[in-house]
Chain A
């Protein structure tokens, strides 16, 4: 019997609507796994200037390509919001991602300063990443993590690759979530704002978990987020996540981020 592992991966698409497109929906197909099964965890939508006013709120319909749409009609984005907005950048997996003894993950983080003009007197965010895991042999919880324990790293990528990110020698570990500091000062107060400019996680073989590097909202989806961690949102080989949107606005860009895990052989 084949045993599987579930590689976390993310796909993003930006849909551009120029001019009034009431009659011409803009379409995105997000293919995470190609010929492998994919377990989706969530999808988030972000559109500039989206409010409650009719006419600026894009209308959306989603589904699985090849399996039909969830609804024929288009509905406002807010209707798809099923999860609270994330305050910390926690991505909980649908399936555990197994790391084997000797294997090590690494991460690249980069923060940039936004907000106040000259916060030179203030301390800065300590870049860190943490994987919440459990040892397979004895079910003991284990954290894989690394942090850069000093201040003042802005505007340059920092590679987190310490030994503490390595799987223990005596047991594989199953990773259930990953955490990184989200974009910026959460809660809306004026303070020192540090935006996460880049976040990339590399698997044991050095492969990137996703393609694009510069994703400010990767772990902190700012728009609407819909939970897809359910059996009906497992993509069979060849299926894609499918989204169409309409808007009355003269010009609206909408970004869609789909997170999920691709089933691969161990």
Chain B
């Protein structure tokens, strides 16, 4: 038996060396500490995995249920997630989000702050081997986390990775950032701040941050701690947090702003965390114009984040395992209409509400 430095004990998600399966690994840096392992030990290469699909929910009367598919095009032949990887996916978390598109004044005749994702929609989830939720269950009954209101007022959507990811020193973690609304002449330039939180090889907290003014088409954000192109020491990422500078609307206007930023993750090592076309919504801003009574804190005034009642997080006690060639099918059901109208347009112009379905988990090489 080979004794190891306890500091190098296996941490799920750490990078254990080059991946030879052609899954996108770039293999430029090898950390000697974490590649040392006992003879015969299984090399369980565990990396983060995530998926985001945006679907548009039409009205209950015309189409009460919607399948969540990768293309959003109503292609009924497509599952919500098909594991075409050569790895086992463990799903630790489902998130359901609704963020207001720009200029929402009204959702089905109500202020956006009445928009309650948890009670308006139900979900059904089917695994290849078993039903997770056979029929439709209201999203509120899927909640396993109490979404808190005031404690997160000034923070934004955070990703807690189910497995830590080793970002080797000098290898830059990159993200692509885009904004739905960046070029508006009404809003001041926003600034999106991102923090990679974790620890170094000695379990000392280590955080690197960057900020960027995202464009509509995407801005690359590189976490270059120094000119060497990456963090100065190994960073085991456990959380990725976002924040957006406060934005105030023009005084006197009647808008409720919904500002949507989206990101993609480009880790320096290992397989991709998500499909190339997936964008993850973060740091939606809601603000309320002067035509409404001043919203309370709980209503999300100047909230850098989703209005709290529009996110439901479901974490199963143990992860759902999706082996290669298995799939998940997810459908959403309207219990209440989710259409909305836009300020300044005819009330008869009814739009649909985008809802994100996000899964966060791990991917593990077959041993």
Contacts and interface: CB of A to CB of B under 8 A. Distances in A.
29 contacts: A84-B146, A84-B148, A84-B150, A84-B151, A87-B147, A87-B148, A88-B145, A90-B144, A125-B119, A130-B137, A130-B142, A133-B317, A140-B320, A141-B316, A143-B132, A143-B316, A147-B122, A164-B134, A164-B135, A176-B317, A179-B142, A181-B119, A185-B116, A187-B149, A187-B307, A187-B309, A189-B111, A189-B113, A189-B295
Contact of A128 (B114, B138, B148): B138
Contacts of A149: 122, 135-136
B366 interface: no
A129 interface: yes
A88 B118 contact: yes
B194 to A, nearest CB: 24
A128 B140 contact: yes
Nearest to A86: B146
Contact of A90 (B146, B151, B295): B146
Given A147-B138, A149-B135, A187 B122 contact: no
B133 A134 contact: no
A188 interface: yes
Interface string A79-98: 00000111111100000000
Contact of B141 (A123, A145, A174, A186): A145
A18 interface: no
A191 B133 contact: no
Contacts of B316: 132, 134, 141, 143
Interface of B: 60, 110-111, 113-114, 116, 118-119, 122, 130, 132-138, 140-151, 295-296, 298-300, 307-309, 312, 316-321, 335-337
A134 B146 contact: no
A145 B309 contact: no
Given A87-B147, A177-B144, A191-B110, A141 B138 contact: no
A151 interface: yes
A132 B136 CA distance: 16
Contacts of B147: 87-88
A89 B144 CA distance: 9
A190 B114 contact: yes
Given A87-B308, A125-B119, A140-B130, 16 more contacts: A84-B149, A84-B150, A85-B150, A90-B145, A140-B321, A141-B318, A143-B132, A145-B141, A164-B134, A164-B135, A179-B144, A181-B140, A185-B114, A187-B149, A187-B298, A189-B113
Interface residues of A, number: 39
Contact of A145 (B118, B133, B149, B321): B133
Contacts of A139: 318
A266 interface: no
A122 B110 CA distance: 11
Interface string A169-188: 00000101101110001111
A251 to B, nearest CB: 28
A230 B183 CA distance: 51
Nearest to B113: A189
A143 B118 CA distance: 17
A134 B119 CA distance: 25
A126 interface: yes
Interface string A136-158: 00011101010101010000000
4 tightest Cβ-Cβ pairs between the two chains A and B: A141-B316, A84-B148, A128-B141, A88-B143
Contact of A188 (B116, B146, B296): B296
Contacts of B143: 88, 90, 179
B335 A179 contact: no
